[in-house]
Amino acid sequence: MRIVLLCLLLGITPISWADLAAARVNGVEISVMRLERYFSEYLQAQGRALSSIRNPNLYKRLRDQALDELIDKELLWQEAQRRGIVVSDEQVSAHIGQLEQAFGSPVVFERRLGEAGFNRAEFADYTRHEMAAQRVYAQLSAVAAPSEADVHAFYQANRERLQGAQNQSDNTSVIPEQGLQMARLALAEQLSAQARQTVRQRLRESAHVERAD
């Protein structure tokens, strides 16, 4: 945004957002236009509306978080390319077809694509990138199921919290089983979250990322 303001102050016609870079990831540009598109999706996923954000600091923080996610997505896409992960045209078409059905009609779907700044070809390319990135992310962050010993240890360490979340039951023999099942699920999610964080951190550390001011 500083570039646009500088152009205005100097009386220079600013270049379009499509030509401005919000960041570069290993030399690959993430345009301001791409960031603005994704920022809208990011806010929508959080149940926020852009017009409701009055605090400039909050706006900047949320926008920076959206850019962080875009950088991670680009790194995952590049890793997918490096590993030779290919998403076929048929898989892309099937995924887009499911989305189109969810909107109820092709007309509504086309309108929403236009509102998001996509045509069909651009959205197909975007979908291919997303699917490949998600596929490599799942591969890199896969973890083994926790052992029973680990589940029991996790249950003992978090017993009060897990018991408080359990459904009440008159059968006391059921309560420990419920607690262990909850512990198993919670531990598996914790391990998966740690693995995903490790993947993102490793990709960041091995990459050259430049963010625009």
Inform me whether the pLDDT recorded for 9 exceeds 70: no
Element (H, E) at 13: none
Q: In percent, how much of the chain has pLDDT > 70?
A: 85
- Dist. CA 139–CA 189, nearest whole Å: 16
Q: Which residues pair with 25 in a beta bridge?
A: 28, 209
- Could you give the CA distance from residue 102 to residue 9 in angstroms, rounded to a whole number? 46
Query: pLDDT tens digits, residue range 30-82?
Result: 999 889 989 988 998 989 988 889 899 999 999 999 999 999 999 999 999 99
What pTM did the predictor assign? Answer: 0.79
Shortest CA distance to 96 belongs to which of 117, 132, 122, 127?
A: 127
CB atoms near residue 35 (< 10 Å): 21
